[in-house]
Amino acid sequence: MSVPKVVIIIQFMAQKVIYLEGVEPIDFFGVNNVRFNRLKSHFSDLKIVSRGNELKAEGELERINQLEEKVELLVKFILKFNRLTMDDFDEILSGDAGYKMDAPGPKDEVLVHGDRSKPIRALTIHQKLLVEEAGKNDLVLAVGPAGTGKTYTAIALAVRALKSREVNRIILTRPAVEAGEKLGYLPGDFAQKLDPYLQPLFDALRDMIPAKKLLQFIEDNTIQIAPLAYMRGRTLDQAFVILDEAQNATTSQFKMFLTRMGPSAKFIVTGDVTQVDLPGRTQSGLIQAIGILEGIEGISVIRFDERDIIRHRLVKKIVKAYDREEDRHT
C-alpha cells in the first residue's frame, strides 16, 4: 500500500516599512483616507498600517514587494503631475497607467541643462515650491535639514537666470563661521583657508556649467563666491544672490545682507535652523528674520523637511532620529 505524499506549502511572512518620499500624506491617502482604504482593499491579503509618511506592511514578501512598486509609481505620478485623481489611482493599481507616466508633466520642467547636457530638475515637493515661489517673489527664505537640495535648486535657478540674461551676475555667499573647526589652524592664506568652506558652492556650479566656462565666469566676476563679510557696503543689483548656511549669520549680518538688495536683484536665503554654529548665546539672524519677515508681500518662506532628503536613504533616518532625540529633551 502506497503512502500518500503530503505537500506542505510554506509562505514566508515579512514586515516592511515603505516611505512616501517627497509627498504630503494627504496627497497620497486622500481626504478621509479614501485612497488608503482603496489600497488596503486591493492588497487585502496584507496588513497595512499608515503613520505619517510611512506605510508598514505585513504579509507574504512577494506581495509586499508588489505593494512597494505600486506605492513608488503613485508617488512618482504625484511628483510629476502634482495631482492624483481616483481614476489615476485605480489605473496605476490595475497597471493601466503606463501611457500617462510617459506624458510630459507640468512640474517636470528642466531648470537648466548642466555639464554634458545633464538635465537638472526640481525633484521634490518643496524643491518645486522653491522654483514657483522664486518666480513670484524677489526674496525667498528656504530652511530645512541638510540634503534636501535647497542650495542646489537655488543655484540651478541662478544659473538659469544668468543663461537667459535675466541677471548679469551670480553672487554666492556664506558667513565664515567655524563649524566646530578652527580655520586659523588650516594651512595657507585667508583665501586658501576659505576655499574648502566654500567648496560645496563650487561643486554645484561644476554640475551646471562646463569647467572652462565656469573659470571664465569667475575670472571676469560674472560669478562671485565670497564670505558674507565681503558684502558690506555693496549694492547688489542685476544679480541673483544666494546666502547659504544663513543660520550662521548674526542679526546684524543678516540685516546688512538684506539691505544690499538692488532694484533688479533676486535673493534666495538657505539654511538649517537646527545647526547653528554661532558662539555662545549669539542669536541666529535667519531664525529672527523668519519671524519678522514671514507674511510680507514679495517675501516667501519655504520649510523643507526630511521628505525632501535626496541623499542616501540613511540620511533621512538619521535626521528623524536626531529630531526625536531633540524632542525628548525639550
* DSSP-assigned states of every residue in 91-147: HHHHT--HHHHTSPPTT--EEEE-GGG-EEE--SHHHHHHHHHHHH-SEEEEE--TT
11 pLDDT band, cuts 50/70/90, is low
**The whole model's pTM is what?**
0.64
Domain boundaries, the chain: 13-101, 110-328
Amino acid letter, 6: V
Cβ atoms of 141 and 293 within 8 Å: the answer is yes
Bridge-based pairing state of the strands 54-60 and 13-19:
antiparallel
Q: Does 74 score more than 70 pLDDT? A: yes
pLDDT of residue 321: 81
- What angle is formed at CA 155 by the lines to CA 195 and CA 151, rounded to 5 degrees? 75
Rounded to an integer, the average pLDDT of 125-149 is: 92
Query: Is pLDDT above 90 for 154?
Result: yes
Residue 183 has pLDDT above 50, yes or no: no
Average pLDDT across the chain, whole number: 83
**CA-closest candidate to residue 323, choices 310, 311, 312, 309:** 309
CATH second-level architecture of 13-101? 2-Layer Sandwich (3.30)
- Predicted pLDDT of residue 37: 92
pLDDT at site 112:
85
Q: Which CATH class is domain 110-328?
A: alpha beta
Q: How confident is the model at residue 316 (pLDDT cuts 50, 70, 90)?
A: low
In the structure, what pLDDT confidence band is assigned to residue 67 with cuts at 50, 70 and 90?
very high
Tell me, what's the pLDDT at 311?
65
Please give the average per-residue pLDDT across 202-220, as a whole number: 89
User: Which of the listed ranges 187-191, 196-200, 268-272 does the model predict with the highest average pLDDT?
Assistant: 268-272
Q: Does the pLDDT of residue 257 top 70, yes or no?
A: yes
Given a cut of 90, whether residue 222 has pLDDT beyond it is: yes
Length of the chain, please?
330
